[in-house]
Amino acid sequence: MKTIAAIVLGIAVSSTAAAQEVRPYKEGNVVAVSFIRTKPGKFDDYLKYLHGPYKALMEAQKKAGLVLDHRVYAAYPKNPREPDVILTVTYANMGALDRADESDAVTARVMGNIANQNKGMADREAVREILGSELIRELVAR
């Protein structure tokens, strides 16, 4: 009986110690990164879109509290399968990605109805190709 009590006490003490252990970081913002390759001769056309309607949408989402920040970066590809534009959108956390209804409402207000949004998407296909995307999370030192 003493052996069982000692084992239970040992498990309880080790569980408490493990629960109190603190990671050397905390989870920070979540960033959606998109890798884009513009079609030959279409870089400036795509940048006009990014600094026009896309920026208006991102600023509206920022004002609505859906995103924290957005950026556009130029990249210098070494081959045709690498991006020449990288887009980032920063969210407060993973939960912010689950606000699709609010985001859709802002998008409709800025970009118009679904048919108009789909036409815009098709138009952008003529100037760029999406090579991929990923989500990354900032780890902030404690």
The sign of the torsion formed by the CA atoms of 6, 7, 11, 14 equals positive
pLDDT tens per residue, range 114-139: 888 888 888 899 999 999 999 999 99
Domain 24-141 sits in CATH at 3.30.70.100
Alpha-carbon distance of 41 to 21, in angstroms, equals 55
pLDDT tens per residue, range 71-97: 999 999 999 899 999 999 999 999 999
Alpha-carbon distance of 98 to 136, in angstroms, equals 16
pLDDT tens per residue, range 9-44: 566 555 555 567 899 999 999 999 999 999 999 999
Number of CB atoms found within 10 A of residue 9's CB: 10
Q: What are the residue ranges spanned by the domains of the chain?
A: 24-141
